[in-house]
Structure 1
């Protein structure tokens, strides 16, 4: 008697073929019947073929599955060669999709159902995003692509070779952990940076602030403040973008502590969450009742590519300096020295202090002291961004930022006190 599970698995193989065939059929819907290499029915049959071959391979020998795959690959190769004689500018997307459909059909019978179905959905999504992906690629400059490849090479090849042990005073300088922190922060920043590069000011300053908070809220604040200098009338809208960027920073802090010291998440979740919520509420009110222009046509520059080696190495050096400063100040002044280091670090960078304190908590610093230090750094950094808005922008912009950020700091301080 055939196991009912087999029918479920063969059904999934057919469903995968139908899913990918639906996308390919829609993509070539305007072509004549004979001009399409494969459509809805072909993909459905290919998925079912993979499932049947996987089933037979399980009953007999895996050779059946291998022979069927190579036979399909050979058939597609001949078909491609014939079409290449008529058109020398052909892609291989449909052929690769057919091979993937066959493979996923076999995996439906021989492997786990959930991962197989997930891969099929992702594949269909990638096929449907052709124009979007091509547009994104056009937005990326060559030097940015080169920077991504260089950092990926250094991270993948060099990172495993770095010694995972401490050096220097208190053994606080661990080459492996230092570079790992650089990779994490640069990767997180690059998500925001690419979003800004792809979207630009065309989607609005508020969206730029959202992505800029991931890239660098300080750089975004400076860039938007300078933009206000040239476009005075957009000060209310720019203030909204700056506050959004600053609010995202608090969520970014939670992401970093979750990566480097998850024990810090509970005591920091309330103050950082309240500060982010207060800032976003202030930004929403400012956006709702602001009197500035709602559309901008200029480009907002000023956020450096975080995957440039220079940018990454500078952050690495800042992190090393902060680690040493925290070590010495704590040695001289006790726990209060960590707070002093937090205040000093917050003037320029909150990420380095967050990572440094997370490492101390992993060793011997208590959670309360660690949470207070990170809150101090975030508060000082927020005040600095308010000052940047006033100095680099204008009074109209700066006063709006100061009012909201004052509420953010007070709300965060009260929630930290209640939580501790």
Structure 2
């Protein structure tokens, strides 16, 4: 009796999985006449039941005998699909492939892999239902973006696994696998930000663009918006808010990076970066509240976030910074680490953040690495403030400069008050 209940339960699960996939197929083809399609909701349920019964009766039969019903079903399905193509001129075989998958899922439902069958059925249904979204995205995808996606897959799925996961330099600072993993991570973050900007579009305005631009390059966003302010003086307050948002987003991005590589750094970094973020976002929100709504026709010009040459250069820069930081630490102590952090932050904070997160706490204490990362973030913020003053001027420069000074003062005060990271500064 117990065996019967278990088998009956498996058949019900198989039927449910088939009906789920059939529901999507029937809904997507609901405009057709009855009987004009190869399979609908009832047929998919029966197909899954057929696979379940096939699995139930297969037992320990020879492989060729077990494969017979599947081959027979595939032949019947092929003939039906051929007749439909001939009648309608529609060369899509999506429904036929989904039917074959449903047959296999029905069989899996009668095996110990029933949870895998259920999860796969849900994924297949979602994928089938995403046809309009996926096809729309493909139409919008530019050749350079497709090439970038393939290159990102190349460095993550092909190159990363073959790199040696050990230090190869005399100082024990350069691990090719870890360096390239960090290149992949930062490229993926930038890639996500790039497509967020693309999907949002210029009609969403400067503020949303500034938020996503902070995931790609807040320095590039600052340059672009500062240039825009020279030609659109009426937008200066709004553009100032955009620069502040883009620059402030750098702080959560730092927390994300160190959280992936060295969670121990989150605790000492959390309050300085969190409060600076709160200050920046609150100021930007206040600016938008007091600024009349304007129609923004400009957009932040950002290059494709991934190029193979860029990845190689970033990987080389990251490896050099890791080795130089270690050497400067050995030669000049704490001052050498801060010197390297300051120089790196003149253009970007990602490389020094990744380097310090990778080398802490084996080579640097968590306190020292945390303070150096905060120092790099503050230097980079000063650089972006200087760019705004030099390029934009006017009200935008005054607003951005005042906000950045407040953020830097707040960050330094919190960093000093936190005993865990104030000790390295006193030691200098």
With normalisation by structure 2, the TM-score equals 0.87
The RMSD of aligned alpha carbons is 2.7
1:381-416 alpha-carbon deviations (Å, 9 max, x no partner): 222222233333342223333333334334434444
2:273 aligned with 1:280 = no
Deviations along 1:198-223, whole A, 9 cap, x unmatched? 33213332222232222222222222
Query: How far did 1:342 drift?
Result: 1.4
Give 1:190 shift.
1.0
Residue pair 2:38, 2:84 contacting (<8 A) in 1 also? no
The residue aligned with 2:359 is 360
1:163-210 C-alpha deviation (Å, 9 max, x unpaired): 444345624333333222212211221111122233321333222223
- 1:313 partnered with 2:312: yes
- The residue number in structure 2 matching 1:119 is 120
Aligned to 1:84: 85
Matches of 1:235 and 1:10 in 2, distance apart?
66
Call closer, same or farther: CA 1:66–1:191 in 2, change over 3 Å. farther
Kept in 1, the 8 Å contact 2:155–2:184? The answer is: no
Find the aligned partners of 1:64 and 1:284 in 2 and give their Cα distance: 69
Change (3 A) 1:56 1:199: farther
Aligned residue for 1:37, secondary structure, equals coil
Summarize the Cα distance change of 1:260–1:44 in structure 2 as closer, same or farther, 3 Å threshold: same
Distance in 2, Cα, partners of 1:236 & 1:27:
48
Q: Which residue in 1 is equivalent to 2:176?
A: 175
- Aligned-pair distance for 1:327? 1.9
C-alpha separation in 2, matches of 1:242 and 1:65: 65
Question: Does the CA contact (< 8 Å) of 1:169 and 1:324 recur in 2?
Answer: no
Corresponding residue number in structure 2 for 1:389: 388
Structure 1 position 403 matched with structure 2 position 402: yes
In the alignment, the residues of structure 2 paired with residue 240 and residue 9 of structure 1 have an alpha-carbon distance, to the nearest angstrom, of 58
The separation in 2 between residues aligned to 1:66 and 1:168, in whole angstroms, is 55
**What are the residue-to-residue correspondences of 1:175-324 with 2, within 5 Å?**
175-293=176-294, 295-301=295-301, 303-324=302-323
Counterpart residue number, 1:329: 328
Q: Is the 8 A contact 1:267 1:419 kept in 2?
A: no
User: Cα offset for 1:319?
Assistant: 1.2
In the aligned structure 2, how far is the partner of 1:55 from the partner of 1:246? 61
1:106 and 2:113 aligned: no
TM-score (norm 1): 0.89
Q: Distance in 1 between matches of 2:320 and 2:70?
A: 57
Give distance in 1, aligned partners of 2:50 and 2:166: 54
Larger Rg: 2
Q: 1:155 deviation in Å?
A: 4.3
Cα gap change, 1:2 to 1:52, in 2 (>3 Å): farther
Deviations 1:201-259 (A, max 9, x none): 13332222232222222222222322333333333333333333223322221222122
Q: Which runs of 5+ in 1 are unaligned?
A: none
CA distance in structure 1 between the partners assigned to 2:103 and 2:130 by the alignment: 22
Cα distance change on mapping 1:32 and 1:47 into 2, 3 Å: same
Cα separation, 1, equivalents of 2:142 and 2:230 = 27
Structure 2 stretches of 5 or more lacking a match? 421-428
Superposed CA deviations along residues 24-66 of structure 1, whole A, max 9, x for unmatched, are 2221111111222222222232233333434444687777764
Tell me, in whole angstroms, the C-alpha distance in 2 between the residues paired with 1:64 and 1:374: 65
Q: Distance in 1 between matches of 2:404 and 2:355?
A: 25
